[in-house]
Structure 1
Amino acid sequence: MLSKSCEYAIRAMIFISQKVGDVPKASVKEIATNINAPIHFIAKILQELCKKKILQSIKGPNGGFYLEKKDLKITLAQIVLTIDGDNIYKQCILGLKECSSKKPCPVHNQYKEIRKEILTMLENNTISNFNDKLNTGKYFLKNN
């Protein structure tokens, strides 16, 4: 449903959001390690997020990636739109290029409702919504 790039982007943004006000900057290596992502792959994703003004960065030996407090209101939907575009809300679950209300696939109407629920969930969750859950130790951003 989401591309691997988008999955990593969301996990990285949630990880970085935990650092706001603490040690604010995170290196590519630190992010990659904490979300279990390939370092070169996550570096490209982080650069794209910076280019689109979703994430901040400072270059140099003491540099890194960071978010300001105002950035904690970034929604998962904004990240998905930045990385994957709006295909998740439009594409046919069966992969048909032409699938619409006028020319539906067999599951079009059911999946239409699911897409609405996904959009609502992504729009209603900011990257900071998950920090309390992660702090309990019961939720994770990477597999062991």
Structure 2
Amino acid sequence: MFSKACEYGIRAVIFIVARTEQGKRAGIKDICKEIEAPEPFTAKILQNLSRMGLVSSMKGPNGGFYVEPHQAQLKLIDVVKAIDGDKLFTGCGLGVKECSEDKPCPIHHQFKAIRNSLQEMLENISVRELTEDLSNGLVFLKK
């Protein structure tokens, strides 16, 4: 459902928030190792998220990515929309251009329910909430 960029972005942000809560910044090499993502692609994603104010970064030997307290409360939907936009929540499940309530595709109503449920979940969970289980070793960011 998410693009590869969005998958890497979500996993990277979760890792960055967890690392920030440990009082550390996350370097791009560490991030990519921990989420099993290609470095140049992930660096580009994180640069965009930094420009948008969803994460922060600092250059230099003690630099890396981190989050400010207000950024740690960002919702997953903020990351998804920043990377993939909102087409996932408005587009047709089959890619039909004219799909609508008036002219639905064969899976319109079923897909709409799934799409709405996904959007609700992403709107209601903060990235910080996801780091608790990660820090406790109950969930993982690697395949």
Matches within 5 A, 1:19-98: 19-98=19-98
User: Normalising to structure 2: TM-score of the pair?
Assistant: 0.95
Query: Could you report, residue by residue, the CA deviation over 1:27-68 in whole angstroms, capped at 9, with x for unpaired residues?
Result: 100100010000111000000101111110111222111001
Q: Which moved more, 1:54-63 or 1:27-36?
A: 54-63
Q: How many pairs are equivalent?
A: 143
Query: Could you report, residue by residue, the CA deviation over 1:67-114 in whole angstroms, capped at 9, with x for unpaired residues?
Result: 012211100000011000000101111111221101110110111111
Q: Confirm or deny that 1:4 pairs with 2:16.
A: no
Name structure 1 gaps, 5 residues minimum. none
Q: Distance in 1 between matches of 2:89 and 2:74?
A: 19
Name structure 2 gaps, 5 residues minimum. none
Q: Once the 2 structures are TM-superposed, how far is the Cα of residue 120 of structure 1 from its aligned partner?
A: 0.4
Percentage identity across paired residues of the two chains? 46
Residue type at the aligned position of 1:17: V
Q: Distance in 2 between matches of 1:136 and 1:59?
A: 29
SS at match of 1:105: coil
Q: Distance in 1 between matches of 2:79 and 2:141?
A: 16
Corresponding residue for residue 113 of structure 2: 113
Residue type at the aligned position of 2:131: N
Q: Distance in 1 between matches of 2:138 and 2:25?
A: 25
Q: Confirm or deny that 1:125 pairs with 2:110.
A: no
Contact 1:20 1:69 in 2 (8 A): no
| C-alpha RMSD of matched pairs (Å) | 1.1
Query: Could you report, residue by residue, the CA deviation over 1:103-140 in whole angstroms, capped at 9, with x for unpaired residues?
Result: 11011011111111000000011101112211332310
Residue type at the aligned position of 1:63: G
Q: Confirm or deny that 1:138 pairs with 2:135.
A: no
